[in-house]
Chains A and B, each alone.
Chain A
Amino acid sequence: EADIYQTPRYLVIGTGKKITLECSQTMGHDKMYWYQQDPGMELHLIHYSYGVNSTEKGDLSSESTVSRIRTEHFPLTLESARPSHTSQYLCASSRHGGHEQFFGPGTRLTVL
């Protein structure tokens, strides 16, 4: 079944640790996105990718980085986590020319 996956679903980590949030999709979509969402708040685009080897920063400045080495995989990395990074991170994808985005279940990150 075509879908979009995120791991881990929940992560509690100490300040200064390096973390990678995983996102994979099996729909063959070219475009992938990362959003940050604070509890009860709107979504803010932090990264997106048109395809392999393409990454761009979104509207909200983020200290995270992303990579797109394979079409299906779009991991997000924080080199040194801080409490201000505590949030929910949502990954999404869309096909080329498509307008709707398909979302993963999210990763809720807590940095102590």
Chain B
Amino acid sequence: AQSVTQLGSHVSVSEGALVLLRCNYSSSVPPYLFWYVQYPNQGLQLLLKYTSAATLVKGINGFEAEFKKSETSFHLTKPSAHMSDAAEYFCAVTQAWSGGYNKLIFGAGTRLAVHP
């Protein structure tokens, strides 16, 4: 079964600094991978997704992630943090189920704090 591990439940960066949020997955088949962002009292918004095309995926708000099969990783980065990036970030991998249902397996989340 697929699983997702997000290293670091809390990450704190200075405004303007590099953001790096780590995600490792386990999957017996080529995975579909996602990063979602959740702002306080909101639902989840898709940041970006990897679906076996380009290994470097660009998403919204200046975020990008690189799929590295050899490392089973899909780390999320942003060159320069903005105060508005403060949120909870979830990495997820698809697990195929019966009936055409694709289950999303979520990591535990990483809370990003951005300080002036």
Contact = CB atoms under 8 A, between A and B. Distances in A.
B interface secondary structure, majority: strand
Contacts of A98: 102
A81 interface: no
B41 A108 contact: yes
A104 B43 contact: yes
A71 to B, nearest CB: 15
Interface stretch (B12-20, B78-86, B103-111): B103-111
B46 A43 contact: no
A41 B109 contact: yes
Contact of A40 (B36, B46, B111): B111
A1 interface: no
Given A42-B90, A92-B43, A100-B46, 5 more contacts: A40-B88, A45-B103, A96-B100, A97-B100, A100-B49
Nearest to B99: A50
B100 A41 contact: no
A105 B43 contact: yes
7 contacts: A41-B108, A42-B90, A45-B104, A97-B102, A99-B32, A99-B94, A104-B43
A99 B102 contact: yes
Contacts of B111: 40
A45 B110 CA distance: 19
